[in-house]
Amino acid sequence: MSIYSREMLLRSRDVDMFRRLRTSELFRLLQEASITHTEQLGMGREKTLDKGLLWILLLQRAEIDRMPEYDEKIILKSWPGTTMHLLFPRYYSMETEAGEHLLSASALWGLVDQNTRKMIFPEKYGIVIDGVSTGEEIGLPSAPRRIECTQSVPFTVPFSYVDINGHMNNAHYFDLAEDCIPAAAGGEALKSIKIEYVSEARCGESFTVFWGESGGTYFITGEGERPVFRMALSYS
């Protein structure tokens, strides 16, 4: 159980108009793997959600060799890193059935009190996850480098984007970003991703999305009464 592994066949609902795995679906799969594996390790909802604690994402990173395509069988793996005080590192890899490496990813997770929305000390609640080292880990995520933003559009969080934690789900930030910038709709291949989730966006909350591009990398940020997110997407 120290390494989670799931084999799946990509269906039409998983891919975009170019028949490649949709970016938001990739991150939904990573989130699902994280939650499922955490439950398998004995740290499920009875330890967290049922006690008013919510798992949240702080930072994510992905390096992509190739996005898998429609009707392709893939294997997704995930494993925890060594806990860093309040932070829970997690790593991911994806490959084809034949063993072709597709992508690697990493994330930093934390736990917050659902009422105060403040981070908690996990050891006080008996939440312990032992780390694993495989030698295949990419570096942990960091905040994306800012690029001058030249475009903007207003955005309001719809009901359909809100998850069990009462805020906009992390995967939908990629739908929002790729709906704004021209690279994804133009069929360019996504090669790397960095995202920092700065603060929650609740149902009905409005903010402005700003973006700019330099050398094939797009910087996208959400700014309202407070910063919401910062993202960098690099294409080739």
For residue 214, the SS3 value is: strand
The percent of residues above 90 in pLDDT, for the chain, comes to 97
Q: How many CB atoms lie within 10 A of CB 42?
A: 12
**Quick one: CATH architecture of 4-125?**
Roll (3.10)
When pLDDT is cut at 50, 70 and 90, the band that residue 67 belongs to is very high
Q: How many whole angstroms from its chain centre is CA 152?
A: 23
Torsion angle of C-alpha atoms 93, 94, 97, 101, degrees rounded to 10? -80
Q: Which two tokens stand for residue 216?
A: 């094939």
Amino acid at 152: S
Q: At which residue do the structure tokens 């930072």 appear?
A: 59
pLDDT of residue 1 exceeding 80, the answer is no
Q: Which residue has the tokens 């030698």?
A: 135
End-to-end CA separation in angstroms for the chain = 37
Averaged pLDDT, 141-154: 97
Check: CB of residue 191 under 8 Å from CB of residue 61. no
The upper half-sphere exposure of residue 30, i.e. CA atoms within 13 Å in the direction of its Cβ, equals: 29
**Type of residue at 136:** E
pLDDT recorded at residue 44: 87
| pLDDT given for residue 199 in this prediction | 96
Mean pLDDT value across residues 143-150: 96
Q: What digits encode the pLDDT tens for the residues 12-66?
A: 999 999 999 999 999 999 999 999 999 999 998 999 999 999 999 999 999 999 9
pLDDT digits 0-9 by tens, 190-222: 999 999 999 999 999 999 999 999 999 999 999
Q: Which CATH number fits domain 151-235: 3.40.630.30, 3.30.460.20, 3.40.50.1010, 3.10.129.10?
A: 3.10.129.10
Output phi, psi for 31, to 5 deg.
-65, -45
Average pLDDT over residues 164-188: 96
Which of 177, 172, 168 lies closest to 210 in space, CA to CA? 177
Residues 6 or more apart whose CB falls under 8 angstroms from that of 43 comprise 127, 128, 129
Q: Where are the beta strands (DSSP E) in the chain?
A: 4-9, 53-64, 73-80, 88-96, 101-113, 151-156, 190-197, 206-214, 217-223, 227-235
- For residue 216, give Cα distances in angstroms to 21, 117, 175: 20, 36, 19
Residue spans per domain, the chain: 4-125, 151-235
Q: Note the pLDDT tens digit of each residue in 69-125.
A: 999 999 999 999 999 999 999 999 999 999 999 999 999 999 999 999 999 999 999
Three-state DSSP class for 150? Answer: coil
- Average of per-residue pLDDT across 132-146: 95
* DSSP designation for 141: P
Return all residues near 7 (Cβ < 8 A) that are at least 6 apart. Answer: 73, 74, 75, 76, 97
Q: Residues 6 or more apart from 85 whose CB is under 8 A from it?
A: none
